[in-house]
C-alpha cells in the first residue's frame, strides 16, 4: 500500500442497527476520519506491511513508541494507541487468528468483541472495522465478513455505549461480501434488511 492509493470513503448513509447505527464505506482504513479504527494486529504488535506500514508511515513514530511500551498482547486481545498524525484519534490493535488456526471462528469473534470492549473502556463511541483477517492472514473473505458482522451484531444487541460502527471495505470485493452477509442474514433495525440502504447510498 502506498500513499498514492489513499482515498476517501465512498458516499454512504448510516442506518439504525440495534441501539446504534451501522455504516458501510469503501475506503482506505487508515484515511478514515473516525474516533477509532481497528487494525488486525500480530500478538507482537509489530506493524509489519500493508495497513501496518501505512499506519507507521502516515501516523508517525508516536504509534510505534506506544506499542513498544506495551510489548505484546495475548491472541484475541486488543490494545489502544493514539492515531498519531492520522485523522483517527485512536487505533485499536487487535490480535486475531490466521486462517486454519484451531477454533478460528471462536477466536475471530472474540477478537472483534475484545476490540469493542477496549473501545468502550476508553469512552470511544465510533469505531471502524475492516474485513477482519482477510488478506494477509488468509481468512476467506466471505467468512471474514460473516464473522465480523456476527460479532459486531452480538455486541450491539446488548447495552453498549458504541453509537456507530463503520464497516470499511478496502475494495468492491470486500464491499460485496459485507453486503451479501447483511442481506442474507437480514441484520436489522426493526424488520428491515439494511443492505439495500447501503447499495442505494453507493449508487448516489
Residue 190: predicted pLDDT: 43
Q: What is the pLDDT of residues 18-32, one digit of tens each?
A: 789 999 999 999 999
Percent of the chain with pLDDT over 70: 83
CATH number belonging to domain 8-203: 3.40.220.10
Q: Which residues contact 112 (CB under 8 A, 6 or more apart)?
A: 38, 94, 129, 132, 147, 148, 151, 152, 155
Residue 65's φ and ψ, nearest 5 degrees, are -60, -40
Domain layout of the chain by residue ranges: 8-203
- Minimal CA–CA distance to 31: which of 73, 53, 71, 3? 3
Among the residue ranges 13-17, 116-120, 127-131, 178-182, the one predicted with the least confidence is 13-17
Q: Are 39 and 88 in contact (CB under 8 A)?
A: no
pTM: 0.86
Grid coordinates of 38: 481497528
Amino acid at each position: 500500500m502506498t500513499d498514492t492509493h489513499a482515498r476517501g470513503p465512498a458516499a454512504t448513509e448510516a442506518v439504525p442497527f440495534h441501539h446504534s447505527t451501522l455504516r458501510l464505506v469503501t475506503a482506505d482504513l487508515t484515511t478514515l476520519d473516525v474516533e477509532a479504527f481497528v487494525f488486525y494486529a500480530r500478538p507482537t504488535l509489530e506493524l509489519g506491511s500493508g495497513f501496518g506500514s501505512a499506519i507507521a508511515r502516515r501516523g508517525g513514530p508516536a504509534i510505534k513508541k506506544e506499542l513498544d511500551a506495551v510489548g505484546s498482547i495475548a491472541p484475541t486481545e486488543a490494545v489502544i494507541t493514539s492515531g498519531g498524525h492520522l485523522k483517527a484519534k485512536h487505533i485499536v490493535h487487535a490480535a486475531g487468528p490466521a486462517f486454519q488456526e484451531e477454533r478460528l471462528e471462536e477466536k475471530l469473534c472474540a477478537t472483534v468483541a475484545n476490540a469493542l470492549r477496549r473501545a468502550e473502556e476508553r469512552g470511544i463511541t465510533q469505531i471502524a472495522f475492516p474485513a477482519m483477517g482477510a488478506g494477509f492472514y488468509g481468512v476467506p473473505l466471505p467468512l471474514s465478513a460473516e464473522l465480523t458482522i456476527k460479532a459486531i451484531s452480538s455486541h450491539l444487541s446488548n447495552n453498549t455505549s458504541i453509537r456507530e460502527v463503520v464497516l470499511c471495505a478496502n475494495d468492491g470485493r470486500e464491499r460485496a461480501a459485507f453486503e451479501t452477509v447483511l442481506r442474507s442474514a437480514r441484520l436489522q433495525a426493526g424488520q428491515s434488511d439494511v443492505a439495500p440502504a447501503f447499495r442505494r447510498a453507493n449508487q448516489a
